Structure 1
Amino acid sequence: MERDVSTSVGDVTESRDFVTALARGLDVLRVCAAAPEGRSLSDVARETDMPRAAARRALLTLVATGYVVQSGRLFQPTPRVLDLSARVADMPLPRLAQPILDKLSNTLGESASLAILDGTDILYIARSENRRILAVDLRVGAKLPAWCTSMGRVLLAVLSEAERSRHIPKKLDSRTTRTTTDHETLSMILDSIKDDGYCIQDQELELGLRSVAAPVFGHDGKVVAALNISTQASRTPLRLLRHTIVPAVREAAVALGHAIQHQQRSG
């Protein structure tokens, strides 16, 4: 009889099937990939909560395999890391989403994105850029804090309180003068988003930036991703945002959900 290998993450980490060295290496690679300017050994050990010796072995392994280069005391990601994120576009969900994001972006004249939860961040897995309006350069593989972004809040909203706490930092640092930094207030906002079925984020991540996000449902009725449109506050007043962008984003999210369900049935 074939053994059932479907286990939870917690079960795997407790089993002999879990490769600690590989997990640590991936953690180190993520830290390095997020810092093109480079990270020191001390930085990597601190950010991954690893002993210096273990972090050093992982870094030197990544250097040997070509994913990281050492420059003095800094370890920097090489272009080979981009090969990993580039493959994301070929995965089923981003591939299904891309034409929908392109159509939405072209219709509204704004940038459209798709993201999933990754720890306390959101991870961009598909994007159609019309205008660059953020100070940071967003592309597939980029990350932003989940708790203060529209897509992050949509993804957090459908979780239980216990699950939310695992994805929200204990300290909510203010990104702008409008950022919600109180956990109780954030919890009420998330509850409201769950009821409404969409999120409007107004200049909490970056002044002048407004965005709308909606959940994307998979074939099992669970939220698998969030889809959004970002725009400049000076160009899109809240009334127009609610009247035009909210319906368009929700319609695109539903269309992607239907595409996912159709693919599942066809498969």
Structure 2
Amino acid sequence: MATNTRAVPDAGEEAEQNSTEGRLSSVTAAIRVLKTFSEEEPEIGISTLAKRLKLAKSTAHRLATTLLAEGLLEQNVENGRYRLGIELFALGALVRRRLDVSAQALPFLHELRERTDETVHLAILDTTSIIYLFNLESNQAIRMRSYIGVRKPAFCTCEGRVLLAHSAPDVVGRVIKEGLVARTLKTDTSSAALLKMLEQVRIEGFSVDDEESETGMRSIAAPVRDMSGQVVAAISMGGPTQRLTKKSLRGFTPLVLNAAEGISTRLGYRRP
């Protein structure tokens, strides 16, 4: 007769599970603390926080102290109440910057797609990869395909090289340390070659991907700058090699540069 048996976790596994659940519970509680503040109630005391979140006063104080140490909360020294910290403003500014770039870029991306009839992208750098925030595909049957939110290695894409060329040395160092893995037969995985290419991008103001990230596809990218002059995104235009020859790609370069400059101007950038 078959017996119904169930594996019983040992003491170590149970302790680890309880520890993980405890950490997740603390994260959830911390998020709830932050969401308690509002425009109508910008400062809240520990007693009110504890009552509002149905937590012990000691637990609420521990959460507030941790968030205070990380800059996510501040404490009013006059009344002891807590308010949202400046670190949240900095994080929100990063999100706002992305939203602003996407909104301001749209008309220029549409115009670039119409004038080239090739696929256009808007991308940002995220650690060692690029993420596509927006794309408009070509109307032609054979075209470069892409999807919003897709990641690609920064070192071998034209968008990534534009962004890396204007990043801090430690960002480029992280890319090299992670490893330059070939995506096609034409991908150059030499760190020395990458550094040389990034210098060339800084001088010329654009970057070309000649089948280095995707076989049979060529593309060109240019930087988008914000009001401070910092490069916050890259726009690109690309298509199949049989249609987008090296000569035609060079012909489209001014269009890509003008579109990038137009978006930068809309973001408040003024050329020195």
Q: For residues 122 and 54 of structure 1, what CA distance do their matches in structure 2 show? A: 31
2:257 to 232, 250, 254: 250
Please show how residues 4-153 of structure 1 align to structure 2 within 5 Å.
54=20, 91-131=99-139, 133-134=143-144, 137-139=146-148, 141-153=149-161
- Counterpart code for 2:115: T
Q: For residues 214 and 103 of structure 2, what CA distance do their matches in structure 1 show? A: 29
C-alpha displacement of 1:166 = 2.4
SS at match of 2:155: coil
Q: For residues 236 and 180 of structure 1, what CA distance do their matches in structure 2 show? A: 21
Residues 211 and 231 in structure 1, CA contact (< 8 A), matched pair in contact too: yes
What do residues 32-52 of structure 1 show as CA deviations (whole Å, max 9, x unaligned)? xxxxxxxxxxxxxxxxxxx99
C-alpha displacement of 1:91 = 2.1
What do residues 148-168 of structure 1 show as CA deviations (whole Å, max 9, x unaligned)? 110000000112432311244
C-alpha displacement of 1:95 = 1.0
SS at match of 2:143: coil
Residues 123 and 143 in structure 1, CA contact (< 8 A), matched pair in contact too: yes
Residues 206 and 221 in structure 2, CA contact (< 8 A), matched pair in contact too: yes
C-alpha displacement of 1:123 = 1.2
Q: For residues 155 and 174 of structure 2, what CA distance do their matches in structure 1 show? A: 11
RMSD: 3.0
- Counterpart code for 1:183: S
The higher radius of gyration belongs to 2
Residues 97 and 126 in structure 1, CA contact (< 8 A), matched pair in contact too: no
C-alpha displacement of 1:172 = 1.2
Residues 114 and 124 in structure 1, CA contact (< 8 A), matched pair in contact too: yes
Aligned to 2:195: 187
C-alpha displacement of 1:133 = 3.5
What do residues 71-96 of structure 1 show as CA deviations (whole Å, max 9, x unaligned)? xxxxxxxxxxxxxxxx99x9221011
1:226 to 216, 234, 259: 234
SS at match of 1:126: strand
Tell me if 1:171 matches 2:179: yes
SS at match of 1:191: helix
- Counterpart code for 1:252: A
- Counterpart code for 2:258: E
What do residues 116-146 of structure 1 show as CA deviations (whole Å, max 9, x unaligned)? 11011111112222257346x422x221111
Residues 114 and 225 in structure 1, CA contact (< 8 A), matched pair in contact too: yes
Structure 1: any 5+ residue segments left out of the alignment? 1-50, 63-86, 263-267
TM-score by length of 2: 0.61
Aligned to 2:225: 217
Aligned positions, number: 185
Q: For residues 54 and 104 of structure 1, what CA distance do their matches in structure 2 show? A: 49
TM-score by length of 1: 0.62
Q: For residues 235 and 227 of structure 1, what CA distance do their matches in structure 2 show? A: 20
Q: For residues 108 and 180 of structure 2, what CA distance do their matches in structure 1 show? A: 33
Q: For residues 218 and 95 of structure 1, what CA distance do their matches in structure 2 show? A: 13
Tell me if 1:236 matches 2:209: no
Structure 2: any 5+ residue segments left out of the alignment? 1-15, 29-94
